[in-house]
Structure 1
Amino acid sequence: MPVRRGRAVVAAAAFVLAAGTLAACGDEPEVTVDVEVTGEAGVVPELTYPQPLEVDEAFAEVVWEGEGPEVTDGEPILLHYYAEDASDGSVVGETFSGVPKAFVMSRDSVGSDIYDALQGTTVGSRVLNVVPAGDQPTTTVAVFDVLPTRASGEAVEPREGLPVVELAADGEPLVTVPEAEPPSDLVVQPLIRGTGAQVTAGQVITVQYTGLTWSDGEVFDSSWAPDELPWPFPIGVGSVVAAWDQGLVEQTVGSQVLLVVPPGLGYGGDDSELVGETQVFVVDILAASGGPTS
């Protein structure tokens, strides 16, 4: 699957936002800025401040605190962001009109200013970050929404005879395939039912996933692997895995879905080592962007 392509896109986004360095906190006096942030979660925030806004030190403030787990150093973090040039309010960059971006929670990945602004925050939080001119030409005002990196919702009891899925502490699915003949038809089994909007054909879904073969239980691809991140996929319009189009459309954001995929609907072409294999996927739907509902 194409999870190992396109990392330069993520790195470029981090570079654009990471210019400037956050001053060390220590015992230095508290810094305040005159910036008002309004708007609901999931939509572009509205920023109100005197222009041009000039600050001498970086400033970060939690606009609201999320109810999810605390972000963890070295682990993936999924963000929607919106940033303006504080001299005139022009947009520097944003993801709300597209798909959220995944990074590693580290200074090297997101930059020191963003890392310090987000350290200690929780999933679901919205964070304001103002960075003074430095390596960048002007002050930047940015807002970050911290999105989930694993499914969350109501657990669903799966039917008998399917692979058993247990979750590691970080949410990674550990899958045990039964010693039995695989089903001949596509099986779609929600394991966690999220409370978000339904996925519609034509959207891009951001997911965590694991794919393995029924015959031996070996993982052939996973976004949970080291150095991998949640990844966006177009859905309902000819996915790289046909079964995803059939099984994930109309599922809800936040859900975890088990797919048992017969040959012909899975990943891999005619010359793939996976040809003829029944494949098992566990997919966490983290976000859905674009499409007819935008």
Structure 2
Amino acid sequence: MRRVTVLLVALVLATTAACTPANETPPDVQVSGDPGSAPELSFPTPYAVPTQRVEVLVPGDGPALEPGQPVLLDFYAESAEDASVIGDTYSSEPRPFVMSAEALGPDLFAALSGQSVGARILQLAPARQGYPATVAVYDVLPTRATGEPVTPREGLPTVTLAADGEPTITMPDGDPPSENVVQPLIRGSGPQVQAGQAVTVQYVGATWTDGTVFDSTWTDDKLPATFPIGVGSVPDGWDEGIVEQTVGSQVLLVLPPGQGGEAGLNDQTLVYVVDILAASGGPEGS
């Protein structure tokens, strides 16, 4: 895990090198596979990478990337020297960044600027800071739920979304339910989440009593969070609510006292809105 994280930092730093224009196809480098799944790379070795090159392989058809907003990336990288795999988030989990030159490096930021969710980008980076020259592919993943809206049952908290997808929860009058409530609000078209996977999510949590927000990934840098699901690493209400939902979904969880797992709030009913962005690993390696 640490090796992949350090490598990604190195690849991002490598984007400060000189860059050829986007969409200029690097010779002898071929990429196969669909966006969202691990690519297959083909190139002669050793492959000379004197300067950085960037090509947009697939333009995205989702929301446009906006400066200062989160960007979620999967990547796969091979050594240009011998085609050995030196980084792969598809077998672990995607990495979130703020969409800025400071976080991404000026040239990768420039390559992503004007792109949209769903884009696939090829990057050739020269050797830098002790790492070999690399051939890498980046997939731009959603940072909010995408799918078909679902009409919730009556009597539950209502959820409104800001332009960037951040939820606001309004509590109804009356007493909270005595049992866990799992209510999809948006049904994504991705695979079902399996117990034992790592899920990448955006979420906000509020108390039923007065609607006070006590936790949210949407504040500050608005970066998604990743954690294991269905293995007892999160509160029981989260395991019950997220396992078997589909990637891309937004789910409303209403968790009675003791089910939300929030320190200092064990005596309260807690309400979460969770956007499921990705699910990685698991018993079948999906």
TM-score by length of 2: 0.92
CA contact (8 A) 1:58 1:113 kept: no
Query: Percent identity, aligned pairs only?
Result: 56
Moved more, 78-87 or 277-286: 78-87
**Rounded Cα–Cα distance in structure 2 between residues aligned with 1:50 and 1:200:** 38
Unaligned runs of 5+ in 2: none
Indicate the residue corresponding to 2:144 in structure 1.
150
1:205 alignment partner in structure 2: 199
User: How is 1:157-196 mapped onto 2 (pairs within 5 angstroms)?
Assistant: 157-196=151-190
Q: Which amino acid aligns with 1:293?
A: E
Q: Corresponding residue for 1:281?
A: 272
Q: Does the C-alpha gap of structure 1 residues 279 and 121 become closer, same or farther in structure 2, counting only changes over 3 Å? A: same
Shift of 1:137: 5.1
State the distance in 1 between where 2:56 and 2:20 align: 16
Structure 1 residue 119 corresponds to structure 2 residue 113: yes
Aligned-pair Cα RMSD in Å: 2.3
Out of 80, 84, 104, which is 1:86 matched to?
80
Per-residue Cα deviation, 1:86-131 (whole angstroms, up to 9, x for no partner)? 1111222110111111111112212234222322221111110112
Work out the CA distance in 1 between the residues paired with 2:160 and 2:132. 49
Cα deviation 1:246-278 (Å, max 9, x = unaligned): 11111110000001110011123xxx3212110
Is residue 210–residue 224 contact of structure 1 (8 Å, CA) maintained in 2?
A: yes
Native 8 Å contact 2:69 2:222 kept in 1:
no
Match of 2:46 among 22, 41, 52: 52
Partner residue, 2:18: 23
Residue 52 of structure 1 deviates from its aligned partner by 1.7
Quote the Cα distance in structure 1 between the aligned partners of 2:17 and 2:196: 40
Call closer, same or farther: CA 1:22–1:90 in 2, change over 3 Å. Answer: same
Q: Deviations over 1:29-48 (max 9, x none)?
A: x6844311111233321111
Structure 1 residues 137 and 160, CA gap change in structure 2 (3 angstroms): closer
Residue by residue over 1:46-79, the C-alpha shift from the partner in whole angstroms, topping out at 9 and shown as x without a partner, is: 1111222223332111111221111111111111
Q: Which runs of 5+ in 1 are unaligned?
A: 1-7
Distance in 2, matches of 1:31 and 1:160, equals 54
The alpha-carbon distance between structure 1 residues 262 and 249, as it changes in their structure 2 partners (threshold 3 A), is same
Q: How many residues align?
A: 283
- Deviation of 1:146 after TM superposition, in Å, equals 0.7
Query: 2:274, 2:103 → 1: CA distance?
Result: 25
Letter in 2 for 1:193: R
TM-score by length of 1: 0.89
Give me the whole-angstrom Cα distance separating, in 2, the residues matched to 1:132 and 1:228: 31
SS in 2 for 1:190: strand
What is the distance in 2 between the residues matched to 1:221 and 1:9? 30
Task: Describe the shift of the 1:25–1:34 C-alpha distance in structure 2 as closer, same or farther (beyond 3 A).
Answer: closer
Gap change, CA 1:257 and 1:49, over 3 Å in 2: same
